[in-house]
């Protein structure tokens, strides 16, 4: 299970929303964090989130069960360990 944690603040809500549009991805809350989980990879398109770069590059709070394999101007991708 791959888990991506994103703090629920106004700048980050679109990250969780875009992540959840993938049918293989589940978005829950754990305290004030979005817990974004999937059996496989989690891929989020930056342009779809509308995040400016400073927000985009600081939106990840934690990664469980996998690791970030892409985090650039195009996408954030977390692959299973």
Partner 1 sequence: MAELEHKVRGVDHAAFPTFDPAGTVRFYRDVLGFPVVHSICAAGWGPEDHPDFIHFFFDIGNDDRIAFFYYFGLEPQHAHARGDVYAGFGPEVPEFFVRSRHLAIHVEDDADLLEYRRRLDDSEWPVEMQIQHETIESIYTHDPNGYMVEFTRAMRPVTPQEDLDADLTIDALLDVVAEPDPSFGKLLARKAELIVERAADWEPARS
Query: Does 73 engage in binding with partner 1 (CB under 8 A)?
Result: no
Stretch near partner 1 under the rule CB under 8 A, chosen from 14-22, 28-36, 41-49: 28-36
**Burial letters 66-79, b for 16+ CB under 10 A, else e:** beeeebeeebbbbe
**Closest separation in Å from C-beta 78 to partner 1:** 10
Using DSSP's 3-state secondary structure scheme, residue 46 falls into helix
Interaction site with partner 1 (CB under 8 A): 3, 5, 7-11, 30-33, 35, 52, 54-55, 58, 60-64, 67-68
């Amino acid at each position: 299970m791959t888990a991506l944690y994103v703090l629920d603040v106004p700048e980050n809500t679109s990250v969780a929303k875009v992540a959840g549009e993938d049918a293989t991805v589940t978005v829950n809350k754990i305290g004030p964090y979005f817990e974004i989980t999937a059996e496989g990879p989690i891929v989020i398109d930056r342009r779809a989130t509308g995040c400016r770069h400073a927000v985009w590059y600081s939106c990840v709070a934690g990664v469980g069960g996998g690791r970030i394999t892409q985090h650039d101007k195009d996408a954030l991708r977390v692959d299973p360990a």
